[in-house]
Amino acid sequence: MPLVFVPTPLGNLRDVTLRALDTLAAARLIVAEDTRVARKLLAALHISPPEIWSYREENAQRVSAAILQRAREELVAVTSDAGMPGISDPGCDLVAQARAAGIAVEVLPGPSAALGVALLSGFPLRRFVFEGFPPRTSGARRERFAESLRSEATTIWYESPQRIARSLADLAAVAPDVRVFLVREYTKLHEQQLLGTPNAVATQLSQPVRGEIAFAVAPALLSPNERSPSKDDANAAIDELLASGQRVADIARALAARGFGDRRELYAAAASRKAAAAKPIKQR
């Protein structure tokens, strides 16, 4: 039997698909982020709830094997609290484990806040990147925003109502004039759509901020000398900093902040180049 990922409505129950209704009604086991949310949804959809198990980041390793064993024998539906399961939750790990175990996997099409905000933004979408949630600390957020802006693609983000003001402030510190499109409570009764600079969007947000939030950031218009440095540029900068006696971790952090790439990749490159430089030259 297959393991079926079933998107659930973000807010408006009429967004549920007929295939989703059929699958939820036929499932012998439903796997959900929060079993209470799942039971409320099933009741609203007039579906008698079967057995429901909790599957979230905290217990994923412990319950995955049992979920897959059930999927060998009967229909198992995987849901999230709202939207596409596996996006910003551990569902993608379950897919990989099912594939490895030879268990068929199906993903039903359905609601996605990331795609909704992307299209509503009106920003270029020939190339766009889903970034998930920004980091929790200000310094890491600014570094991540700066890196994403150098990608020259529209980026899509999720954020909590408790942190959205701080995230917009950090985005403004990095790129005060960049265009942002934010949707709060997408598809729900009090949906709010805002477009403008980071500071302008922040001032228009309903207070206190409540509900689910997704936002899109338009590609930055970079001048030629602001575009992403090449690998050769990064290696040259690494060698220069190594020669000055700086530590590998400090080099990676500094170059990431300057736009030379991902900090982990820069760390690996700096460590490799330091090790290569330390090797003695063999005499012939």
Residue 283 within a domain: no
Residue 178 within a domain: yes
Residue 29 within a domain: yes
Residue 284 within a domain: no
Residue 234 within a domain: yes
Q: Identify whether residues 68 and 131 lie together within a single domain.
A: no
Q: Identify whether residues 170 and 241 lie together within a single domain.
A: no
User: Residue 226: what pLDDT?
Assistant: 47
- From 107, 134, 169, the end of a domain falls on 107
Residue 52 within a domain: yes
Q: Identify whether residues 118 and 218 lie together within a single domain.
A: yes
CATH of the domain at 174: 3.30.950.10
CATH of the domain at 15: 3.40.1010.10
The C-alpha atoms of residue 241 and residue 247 are separated, in whole angstroms, by 8
Q: Are strands 180-184 and 192-196 parallel, antiparallel or unpaired?
A: antiparallel
Please count the structural domains in the chain: 3
User: Residue 282: what pLDDT?
Assistant: 55
Burial of 224 (0-12, 13-18, 19+ CB in 10 A): exposed
| DSSP symbol at 1 | -
> In the structure, what pLDDT confidence band is assigned to residue 178 with cuts at 50, 70 and 90?
very high
- From 107, 129, 157, the end of a domain falls on 107
Q: Identify whether residues 206 and 246 lie together within a single domain.
A: no
Residue 261 has pLDDT above 60, yes or no: yes
Residue 264 near residue 147, CB atoms below 8 Å: no
Q: State pLDDT tens for residues 185-235.
A: 999 988 999 999 999 999 999 889 999 999 999 998 644 444 556 788 888
Q: State pLDDT tens for residues 110-159.
A: 888 999 999 999 999 999 999 999 999 998 999 999 999 988 899 999 99
Q: Identify whether residues 154 and 197 lie together within a single domain.
A: yes
- CA dihedral angle for residue 153, residue 159, residue 162, residue 165, rounded to 10 degrees: 10
User: Residue 224: what pLDDT?
Assistant: 44
Q: State pLDDT tens for residues 30-72.
A: 999 899 999 999 999 999 988 999 998 888 889 999 999 999 9
- From 59, 91, 107, the end of a domain falls on 107
* Encoded amino acid at 246, one letter: Q
Q: Identify whether residues 201 and 253 lie together within a single domain.
A: no
User: Residue 260: what pLDDT?
Assistant: 78
> In the structure, what pLDDT confidence band is assigned to residue 254 with cuts at 50, 70 and 90?
confident
Q: Identify whether residues 73 and 147 lie together within a single domain.
A: no
Q: Identify whether residues 157 and 183 lie together within a single domain.
A: yes
Average pLDDT score over residue span 89-113: 90
Q: What is the mean pLDDT of the chain?
A: 89
Residue 77 within a domain: yes
Q: Identify whether residues 69 and 45 lie together within a single domain.
A: yes
Residue 1 has pLDDT above 80, yes or no: no
Residue 161 within a domain: yes
Q: Which two tokens stand for residue 75?
A: 């229909």
Q: Identify whether residues 243 and 208 lie together within a single domain.
A: no
3-class SS string, 196-215: ECHHHHHHHCCCCCCCCEEE
Tell me the residue range of the domain where 253 lies. Answer: 229-278
User: Residue 276: what pLDDT?
Assistant: 86
Q: Identify whether residues 136 and 206 lie together within a single domain.
A: yes
The C-alpha atoms of residue 17 and residue 43 are separated, in whole angstroms, by 16
Q: Identify whether residues 169 and 267 lie together within a single domain.
A: no
